[in-house]
């Protein structure tokens, strides 16, 4: 890929993170589980990339592999590159990765309680980022922590900075996590199901906040979710993953208005849409197959309403079907 390319809207896009041919497996008692199989993914400067799929499709493993936070063993990064600032993150030393994580690339998770330390105040935990990455003294770091809480719109931030995580609501804890993640003004924020544990009103507030901070800071975001409805409001482009593979990729319009892959179609039919209020919600039949026991040919063939004989024989190639729009499916035309 060239350093810069023009997308369909004529906007110049500069890749900031390029993942190529990433394969990751887990060596468990039940056998080798190929969790990610040859994933290509590009995040451009200043964009929000939605990564969507059901649980176990490889979304989080892909992101955690880029940050090198999957446990190895049992995990193993078998192939691929993740280029960021002219360096392959998969080849950096642990000491070099410490300078990247939480500083240039940050990650937030679904349940802040698993990431926040219950024994320290949220102010101390934000201050720790400034002390570790910026070498600030304790007092200055704590004052900055209060500013960061104000930035994420936590009311009475000076008081809240002295609160322990269990004293905050779920929404406030997620705001505190965002404050920690963005303290060093990272170039990339990876948000893994950041709103799944929150009720709908708070979800919308957190997504709005992320969108606003993304514009303020000028960072790029990878938003991982099982819910296409969540990416609709914030993402520029979307990658759909199934069984450790990317099965469709396109702009938000490509995915919502002219998606090509039956799995994307199934995901879309399973979320309520304001533009099609009369449509019945339908779930995708069956369950995600075991990754070490995938059907022959197309990994989605045992759940697909449009399966053909050739789908059971050969795995479809990931091919362009429009400018910047790609699909991994043997269907020539959309049947819906």
Binding site for ligand SF4 (CB under 6 A): 261-262, 298, 300-301, 304, 306-308, 311, 316, 329-331
CA 253 to chain CA mean position, Å: 19
**How far, in Å, CA of 212 to CA of 207, rounded?**
9
SS3 content of the chain, % helix, strand, coil (to 5): 35, 25, 40
Between 26 and 330, name the residue whose CB sits nearer to ligand SF4: 330
* Other beta carbons less than 10 A from residue 12's beta carbon: 10
Report the DSSP beta bridge partners of residue 220. Answer: 188
Between 43 and 329, name the residue whose CB sits nearer to ligand SF4: 329
To ligand SF4, the closest distance from the beta carbon of 262 in angstroms equals 4
To ligand SF4, the closest distance from the beta carbon of 302 in angstroms equals 8
To ligand SF4, the closest distance from the beta carbon of 264 in angstroms equals 9
Between 102 and 244, name the residue whose CB sits nearer to ligand SF4: 244
Residues 6 or more apart whose CB falls under 8 angstroms from that of 122 comprise 116, 145, 149, 160, 161, 163, 164, 165, 168, 173, 176, 179
**How far, in Å, CA of 48 to CA of 135, rounded?**
30
Burial class of residue 267, CB neighbours in 10 A (0-12, 13-18, 19+): buried
To ligand SF4, the closest distance from the beta carbon of 79 in angstroms equals 24
To ligand SF4, the closest distance from the beta carbon of 310 in angstroms equals 7
Between 202 and 331, name the residue whose CB sits nearer to ligand SF4: 331
Between 142 and 242, name the residue whose CB sits nearer to ligand SF4: 242
CA distances from 15 to 60, 100, 202, 223 (A): 21, 17, 31, 16
Helix (H, G, I), strand (E, B) or coil at 88: strand
**How far, in Å, CA of 130 to CA of 112, rounded?**
19
Total residues belonging to the chain:
336
To ligand SF4, the closest distance from the beta carbon of 283 in angstroms equals 17
Between 163 and 264, name the residue whose CB sits nearer to ligand SF4: 264
**How far, in Å, CA of 276 to CA of 2, rounded?**
39
- Can you read off the two tokens belonging to residue 78? 């078998």
Between 233 and 313, name the residue whose CB sits nearer to ligand SF4: 313
To ligand SF4, the closest distance from the beta carbon of 210 in angstroms equals 32
Between 106 and 264, name the residue whose CB sits nearer to ligand SF4: 264
To ligand SF4, the closest distance from the beta carbon of 175 in angstroms equals 39
Q: Are 197 and 231 in contact (CB under 8 A)?
A: no
């Amino acid at each position: 890929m060239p350093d810069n390319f023009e997308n369909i809207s004529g906007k110049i896009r500069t890749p900031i993170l390029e993942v190529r041919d990433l394969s990751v497996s887990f060596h468990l008692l039940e056998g080798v589980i190929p969790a990610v199989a040859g994933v290509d993914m590009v995040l451009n400067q200043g964009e929000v990339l939605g990564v969507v799929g059901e649980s176990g499709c490889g979304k989080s493993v892909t992101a955690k592999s880029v940050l090198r936070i999957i446990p190895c063993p049992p995990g193993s990064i078998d192939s691929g590159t993740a280029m960021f600032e002219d360096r392959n993150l998969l080849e950096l030393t642990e000491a070099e990765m410490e300078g990247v994580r939480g500083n240039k690339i940050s990650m937030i998770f679904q349940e802040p309680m698993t990431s926040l330390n219950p024994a320290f105040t949220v102010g101390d935990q934000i201050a720790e980022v400034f002390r570790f990455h910026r070498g600030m003294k304790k007092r200055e770091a704590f004052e900055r922590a209060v500013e960061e809480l104000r930035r994420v719109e936590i009311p009475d931030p000076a008081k809240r900075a002295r609160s322990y995580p269990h004293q905050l609501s779920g929404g406030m804890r997620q705001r505190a996590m965002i404050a920690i993640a963005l303290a060093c003004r990272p170039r990339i924020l990876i948000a893994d199901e950041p709103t799944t544990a929150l009720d709908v009103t708070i979800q919308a507030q957190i997504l709005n906040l992320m969108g606003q901070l993304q514009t303020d800071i000028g960072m790029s975001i990878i938003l991982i979710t099982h819910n296409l409805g969540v990416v609709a409001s914030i993402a520029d482009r979307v990658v759909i993953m199934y069984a450790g593979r990317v099965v469709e990729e396109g702009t938000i319009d490509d995915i919502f208005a002219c998606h090509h892959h039956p799995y994307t179609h199934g995901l879309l039919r399973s979320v309520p849409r304001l533009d099609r209020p009369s449509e019945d919600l339908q779930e995708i039949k069956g369950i995600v197959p075991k990754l070490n026991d995938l059907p022959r040919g197309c990994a989605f063939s045992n759940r697909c309403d449009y399966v053909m004989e050739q789908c059971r024989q050969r795995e479809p190639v990931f091919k362009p079907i429009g400018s910047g729009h790609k699909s991994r499916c043997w269907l020539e035309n959309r049947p819906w």
